[in-house]
């Protein structure tokens, strides 16, 4: 399995596809891994060279001591690009990955071609909610919050009709290291980009889920209205819209990046 050894973290990644195609870098949500992009992988490989990676503290990446900050998570992404010799990429992040995308666009604008911000926000507060969740996971383990988290990832009708998909997501969540999950919760607690996102200049697609509780459509509308070159699309989905609407999600992103 490929790894990039950066100064203070080892990132697990997968880079696949035709080297002549544009690179699409994908950043996972809190409590998942690069496997969260499985529903779109085959479709996107027809048009892109895909770079998926596990955010520090997730999946098979290492778990440096926390708390983390999004400036660090963005620097990790740049370190991975440098490791692979990739100068400029399209970037798609969901939830926590979408905040990483915002931070990247602000701190490293010359490295991002186009930006997709899915089921995310410029600020997901209040901070005490994240601190409480981090403390609960440190005390009782990720399993103690798993059912509550999954109930927000998928709409109840979808989860009931697709129990195997809900189970697959729960398995990904349960593999998340407790310490890494908590450290990333604290990155979310400390992040507030509401006053900065107007400086994002890259063409941006904002994706919302009509049933998304953690980052509701109003958060997506805020992003789309404050980023000067943004468009907004909304799906009938909860927080992990790429799992509930896999084909529509893949097509919307491809259409935005290629046209």
Alpha-carbon span 205 to 113, nearest angstrom: 12
Domain count, the chain: 1
Contact 100, 187 (CB under 8 A): no
Instruction: Give the Cβ contact number of residue 125 at 10 Å.
Output: 13
State the CATH number of the domain containing residue 159.
3.40.50.1820
Q: Can you give the pTM of this predicted structure?
A: 0.98
Contact at 8 Å (CB) between 63 and 181?
Answer: no
Full strand arrangement of the beta sheet holding 230-235:
3-5, 10-16, 49-53, 23-27, 89-94, 112-118, 204-209, 230-235
Residues 200 and 198: their CA atoms lie apart, in Å, by: 5
User: What was the pLDDT predicted at 217?
Assistant: 98
- Residue numbers of the domain that contains 147: 3-258
| Residue 1 pLDDT > 90 | no
3-class SS of residue 33: coil
- Six token digits for residue 221: 């509308």
Kindly report, residue by residue over 27-80, the tens digit of the pLDDT. 999 999 999 999 999 999 999 999 999 999 999 999 999 999 999 999 999 999
Q: How far are the Cα atoms of 63, 117, 140, 165, 237 from residue 215, in angstroms, in the given order?
A: 26, 11, 25, 21, 12
pLDDT digits (tens, 9 = 90+) for 203-231: 999 999 999 999 999 999 999 999 999 99
Phi (first) and psi of residue 4, to 5 degrees: -115, 120
Q: Residue 8: its pLDDT value, please?
A: 96
């Amino acid at each position: 399995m490929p790894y990039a050894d950066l100064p203070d973290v080892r990132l697990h990644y997968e880079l696949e596809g035709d080297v002549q195609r544009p690179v699409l870098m994908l950043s996972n949500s809190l409590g998942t891994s690069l496997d969260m992009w499985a529903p779109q992988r085959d479709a996107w490989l027809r048009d892109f060279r895909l770079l998926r990676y596990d955010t520090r503290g997730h999946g098979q990446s290492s778990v440096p001591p926390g708390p983390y900050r999004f400036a660090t998570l963005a620097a990790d992404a740049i370190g991975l690009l440098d490791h692979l010799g990739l100068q400029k990429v399209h970037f798609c992040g969901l939830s926590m990955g979408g905040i990483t995308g915002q931070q990247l666009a602000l701190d490293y604008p010359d490295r991002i071609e186009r930006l997709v911000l899915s089921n995310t926000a410029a600020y997901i507060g209040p901070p005490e909610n994240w601190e409480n969740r981090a403390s609960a996971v440190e005390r009782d383990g990720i399993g103690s919050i798993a059912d509550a988290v999954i109930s927000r990832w998928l709409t109840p009708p979808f989860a009931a009709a697709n129990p195997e998909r809900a189970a697959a997501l729960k398995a990904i969540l349960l593999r998340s290291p407790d310490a890494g999950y908590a450290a990333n919760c604290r990155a979310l607690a400390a992040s507030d980009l509401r006053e900065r996102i107007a400086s994002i200049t890259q063409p941006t697609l904002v994706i919302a889920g009509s049933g998304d509780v953690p980052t509701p459509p109003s958060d997506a509308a805020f992003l789309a209205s404050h980023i000067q070159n943004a468009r907004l699309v909304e799906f009938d989905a909860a927080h992990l819209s790429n799992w509930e609407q896999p084909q529509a999600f893949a097509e919307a992103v491809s259409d935005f990046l290629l046209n």
